Structure 1
Amino acid sequence: MGSALPVGEPAPRDGSLPVEIDSAAPFGVYLHVPFCRVRCGYCDFNTYTAGELRGARQDQYADTLLREVALARTVLADAGPLRSPATVFFGGGTPTLLPPGDLGRMLDGVRAAFGIQADAEVTVEANPDTVTDAVAVELAASGVTRLSIGMQSAVPHVLAALDRTHVPSNVGTAVDAARRAGLDVSLDLIYGAPGESLSDWRSSLEAAAALDPDHVSAYALIVEDGTKLARQIRRGEVPPPDDDLQADMYELADDLLGTAGYEWYEVSNWARDDAHRSRHNLAYWQGADWWGFGPGAHSHIAGVRFWNVKHPAAYAQRLAAGESPVAARERPDQAATALESVMLRTRIRDGLPISELLGEGRSTVASLIADGLIDGVAAVHGRIVLTRRGRLLADAVVRALTG
């Protein structure tokens, strides 16, 4: 059911913000749909199966979330000029477990409250088993522009190790349906599952590239405390991820996707071209403003971070009472904000301006170039850009740059 929420200061019941908003700052919207048919053993997201809802109803979820949209409009209008989002992202969970009409109503609610920019990127995450021609057509008609399909692997025993329930062939069916509806397509992959070989991973990469998506995400499996996978590893039932094997898998992904015409733009993300980068995720990495709607969703507005209560029932109860669902908030100081900027912006190909580093960090640039971790040509032009070796050791680079 997701990791524990961070500890912050109390938030007012009306959700009001202690800041004024810059009307020129980019703005995005995240809509969390916390429902899954089955809990994957590695998943630490704030999601719930039918038996875990306890007092919350999936068929009422769209109406509940729209109450938060209305509240957010009031809060943001009080803090400054309203901004139309450039990106909207439905994440989860499995958003496509809801009827497409419910997702469309939620999107209409955002449109009515804030407007949505004419060229906005509107993404829906989807399990391959939930995407049909009818679903894709209805999503496209509602204003969705992009489908992010949870492929994870093309190898049955790897999918089983991850507790994924879809059949590999259903990925192609979902991609075809999205294409016929005029939607862009992203495929999400995970590598390093128990029992997955380098050959298995090659098969998944080749299968993904053969579907000719616009975008590919490939994330190393991370063992999160409290998950089924963590318990299995602790009991010795499955081996933990092998760091060296995962590094080999990353290099293979970069090679194969590069050969297929994809270019990395963030450590774990590749796109056919600049126009098909995930603009929503780039906004996170670049420190933009966003409002996250739904239980457990996090937001960032004008330097203030806040997060909603976790359980769908508690979320619904707050909103039914006319109160904000925000559990707590924080306002990181300048040092924390600077550290976060280095952590996030070094991950993207556009890089981080060297001028934003503190003195100690700047003094490490030459040695990082010598170690082959950052690109020397980019550094000459004033930016920190990771080499492929640097991408594999990104955490070490951040530690060096932040002293």
Structure 2
Amino acid sequence: MEQIPHGSPDDPNPLRRLSLEQLRRRTSIKWREYPADVLPLWVAEMDVPLAGPVARAVTDAVAIGDTGYPSGTGYAEALASFASDRWGWDTIAVERTRLVPDVMLGIVEVLKLITDPGDTVVVNCPVYNPFYLFVEHMQRRVVEAPFDRRARIDPTALEEAFRQAVRDGRRAAYLLCSPHNPTGTVHTAAELAAVAALADRHGVRVVADEIHAPVVSRSARFVPYLTVPGGERGFSLMSASKAWNLAGLKAALAIAGPAAAGDLERMPPEVGHGPSHLGVIAHTAAYRDGGAWLDAVLDGLDDNRRLLGELLAKHLPGVRHLPGDGTYLAWLDFRSLGLGDDPSAVLVERARVALHPGPPFGTGGAGHARLNLATSPEVLTEAVRRIADAL
């Protein structure tokens, strides 16, 4: 397996710069969860070297012993500049941001501000499985609003979920995944404005997980939730974690819309003690100086999306896939192949390829598996070939 071809260290595509031998020296969960003969295309880590500006910022900090507690607003300022340049979002106010340990823990803290134990949190399913785990651990109730057949928000299903959520006169929130994990759906401005109108009509507060915001195809456009009409009462959680592969350097930002600023002010100051100072340094450098590196990754991901479609059509025509424009994840429907509710269990055993199981993503997850596209074209090709041969 280690003989799978790969690009050179000078390849402009960061997804082709590292060999499997180099990647297997890593000790993160992606490379330690399964035996060495398994190709790991499951958890959301990218097979890339660290972006140069990020690596320099972290090593410079270590060199001078700058490893204390985080301070200042540089992270928020860097994100505001990035958001303005990339998305035309010019209204991020630093005073309406709070430093949080990571996006999921930030979501938890925001939900504590706007809901109580026993209240309802609405999610679109299938969806990132920690949404269920964290919300239920907080003693909130999850109500699902399934996507439609095109893997897009269904306004009718969403309105019915909102009605259920507030039926007893309790507070409720809608946890929006944008871009959506696992489908890769990038919500349009019209869809998000419709969400805001429904939320306002039913008194539901919107909390948008926008961690994948920078990871959108060149042919698509990410729309920040807080920029749409009616989004003023919402919240956004953002981080450089996914786009620059910084999950191990924890830091994120909670952003309040203008009408939610008072809620954010109630967030306990100790929440800001959780992020890593090195994480803040890394994320700041990514937003400030990592744009060229990100563009190279986005080009590589666009190539991989096209390649996956070609490989599935040729080798696995029974696998249904609706390509998404966001994230570096692909949601694969194996139901016609009769592999049971969790095809990933069959694939890791027979094909020695690890995908993320579908059932934990909620209703609509059975018979599916999530594939991570953020690898080299050669590894992606080998993974599909192995699956086809095994089935």
Tell me which protein shows more strand as a share of its residues.
Answer: 1
TM-score normalised according to structure 1 size: 0.27
TM-score normalised according to structure 2 size: 0.27
Of structures 1 and 2, the one scoring higher in RCO (CA 8 A, sep 6+) is: 2
